[in-house]
A and B are shown apart, each in its own frame.
Chain A
Amino acid sequence: MIDVLAAAASVALSWGAGVLVVRALLRGTSDDAPPLAIGYGYLVGAFATTLAMRAMALAHVRWNLPVLVAILVALGALAAWLARKRPALPRAQSHVKATGIERAALAVASLLIVVRLSGIAADAMVSPLRGYDVWAHWATKTRVWLETGTLSPFVSAETWLARGDPSLYMDANPGHPGTVPLLQVWTGLFLRDWSESLIKLPWLAMAIALACAFYAQARLAGATAAVAAIATWLVMSLPVLDGHIASAGAADLFLAAALGMAAMATWRWARTRDRRMAMLAAIAAAAAATIKVEGLIWLAALLAGVVTAVNRRAGYALAIVAVAAFAGYLIFGPEQYPLLGYVLLSRPVNVTGALVDHVFVFDNWHLAGYVLIALVAWRRRALFAPALAPATITVAAMVGVVVVVFYFSSAAGGVLDETLVNRFLLHAAPTLAFYALLLVVDALAPSTANASAPAMKPADA
């Protein structure tokens, strides 16, 4: 029991510091809302925790729990002090009273989320680490770093043999970034013994954080409490997402959450032009980049949305250039070209069958594939309106990433043998879900969307 409390304390400490940082950042803005701070707070706090651990390792100081706790407490205290210096905006009261059916929908959606996460938590907190990637790619680093108290280097099998240096370690994927194993180490530092169950707690925390952030951003985008809650339930009910919470240990859930939070904050900034929301987006994006190599690929898609938000024509031009460049590669490029851990191919591999099966036949994503296509078809005339264009370009770029990675890269094998197809789509799932919500909210509240659309530059008019 003491270990359970200790593990909870490790998560709570990061989370608390992160909440204070987010509140300090957004205090005095119209976006200062508790669910938003809670949602983004865990990502920010967890990221800060890993940065502190990296800094200690860089300084050749063995990780020390009191020092790390002191750093987080100091960070939280500093954030709280900064927040106090800024006056809070008075809360705007909603003028729309929820109907009975809306209250019922809110209650049912919340209950479904709680039931789902409770079951998954009960499972994850008793079972050992499961799934090949979990124990072959990620927890290997956790196990070693927890033992050595620092970022002991992991190298390839060839380098390990050639160098013969006993301080070098190897595993099935030495190239993975350290953020996720560091979070497990952080929780592990609080425990008396190695526990494969309790080091999964950050995954549960991230799931709750994602739900809070999604709900909060949905409300900021103009959704009613009921619509926001239902949309949050739809996201949190996605079977593959739940699977990654339950079989905690791989980085895909963290990347999905960080990328989703970065996209939601970016799109919010595109509407309000509040620099502090842009900072929050940048922090989430930085976290995504350090979670998995694929984070950089996805962030390129997000960047296209940022350019579109700044200048729509520039965004469209960028999209056209990207498509033309890839077409040029297909025509003139080498058959194979290594890029960010993948090998780009100039001839496509047909993975349509596997893709269709996993999105439209097997219940990996419930109805998400069908609903997204239906919504895009329904709202096709509004996709490139000023309020939606940055999000649309981001999503179009993400679809482009999926097409390139699945059809034109060495990852096609992972799609066909089904080890990659859902994992890769998971990274984009929260972002795509929020885009679907924006399509609905924009349709329901055109006046809101127009009101919050950014002032366009002459080129955009």
Chain B
Amino acid sequence: MSSVDAPSLSAPRLAGWTIVAIVAAALVLALAGAVALNAGAHLRGTPQTIAVPATAMTIARGQGRATDAGLWLDAIAPGDVGLLSAPGLVVDGDAYSRITWRFGVEPPGGVDLAMTWGRRDRPGTVYSAPIDWTRGNATIDLTRHPDWGGAVHGIGLAVRGRLSAPMLLADASLRSNAWDATLADIVDDWFAGTRADGIGVMTSMRHEASHVAPLLPIVAAAIALGAAFVVWRNRRRRENVDAGAIVAIVLAGWLVLDLRMQALLWQQHAASWSAFAGRTLDEKRAAERDAPIFSVARRIRDAERPRGGRVLVLSDSSALATRIAWFLYPDNVWVDMRRSTVGPPPLLPPEALRRGDQVVLVLKHGFAWDPAGGRLVWPDGRSREARAILVDGPELALLEIR
């Protein structure tokens, strides 16, 4: 390099071990503060977890069934709410406030989950709180919820929205908010993997919303404490502020965060290698979380059909259609991405289809294949002559327009 070198970064006046001790002590203090802010009144939780098996639960609303694996919720009436509850359970809400609903089969995307409960001291009132959930088990921390406490009974999981596929609730657990359990939960959260598909940490740390106390603010607080101590110490001794020591404390905090991230990433790298290394592309796709979608797309892709034409993928789920379409490229694929300022886009007009176009119907309500007449029928009764290439019940059809 040809630049003029700046004076070297002024080394900390404090010894290395002193800085390490300050950082460690500050981290312990910050962690203790986090525990104090999130824990209840008890030092020890006995038991630390109250398990609620599916056998103790019932389907209060919605259609479903009980099996050995848990409670299946199969359907919810339009505009209604599904509710799985444990009517006989009574717990001390002041001591058990972190609840986890564990799924055998996760609810499909697009549904909202909420927690419901009653209180012995306020009979007749049902309380609810939304659960921030996108995938995985559903957890909620009600420690600071104003209506959670006292003798809580009849906890339930409410499911709102369109349940496009059945879900299986395996069990529920109520976690103690005692100091020892809270400390364990905080640390466990930091090192728990985020998703089974090996991509969660790589895209965002959004999952930390469900953490009792995310690591970043704790490290930031520890750095502030450590820096404040250095400044206080320097002033007490009438010295200049040891800026080098403060920089070292910041870097140590950054290193703590980075080593945690390295640990999480390497867990995911190992999962990726285990799932994908040495496999063909189709095998890799079949090892993905949405493998069932790929298996459908593969049947369409590999069907005996003319190549080089246009393929229109129609589904009530735009996400499903888009994903299937991806597996069909480089074919000339069309998915309904039309934008409409008022409501859903209009029906695909029959005259927009050309002879030789291939139409994929996947979970598309209203459109139907009429095998007797050899026609693709629109919801409003219009139709086009077509040939079936692949038909598997009312949910899946691949047709060629004639």
Contacts and interface: CB of A to CB of B under 8 A. Distances in A.
Nearest to B260: A363
Interface string B325-359: 01001101111111100000000100010100000
A364 B214 contact: no
Contacts of B1: 33, 91-92, 94, 216, 219-220
B206 to A, nearest CB: 6
A351 B251 CA distance: 30
B337 A96 contact: no
A335 interface: no
Nearest to A29: B2
Given A127-B284, A422-B204, A91 B2 contact: yes
Given A123-B269, A239-B201, A226 B326 contact: no
Nearest to A96: B5
Nearest to B11: A101
Contacts of B275: 127
A172 B203 contact: no
Contact of A144 (B223, B281, B322, B330): B330
B269 A157 contact: no
Contacts of B354: 164
B371 to A, nearest CB: 27
Contact of B4 (A136, A360, A362, A448): A448
B7 A96 contact: yes
B261 interface: yes
Contacts, number: 213
Contact of A119 (B7, B269, B326, B338): B269
B65 to A, nearest CB: 34
B265 interface: yes
Interface residues of A, number: 89
B199 interface: yes
B261 A237 contact: yes
A17 B198 CA distance: 36
A99 B11 contact: yes
Interface stretch (A240-248, A275-283, A301-309): A240-248
A66 B9 CA distance: 51
Interface of B: 1-11, 197-199, 201-206, 208-209, 214-217, 219-220, 223, 250-251, 253-254, 257-258, 260-262, 265-266, 268-269, 272-273, 275-277, 281, 284-285, 288, 309-310, 322-323, 326, 329-330, 332-339, 348, 352, 354
22 contacts: A32-B2, A96-B8, A101-B11, A102-B8, A122-B269, A130-B197, A139-B326, A148-B330, A156-B337, A158-B338, A227-B9, A234-B254, A239-B261, A242-B202, A242-B261, A357-B209, A363-B260, A366-B254, A366-B257, A370-B220, A371-B250, A441-B6
Given A157-B338, A169-B333, 14 more contacts: A99-B11, A116-B262, A131-B199, A158-B338, A161-B352, A166-B332, A170-B337, A222-B6, A224-B9, A246-B202, A362-B206, A362-B216, A363-B257, A371-B250
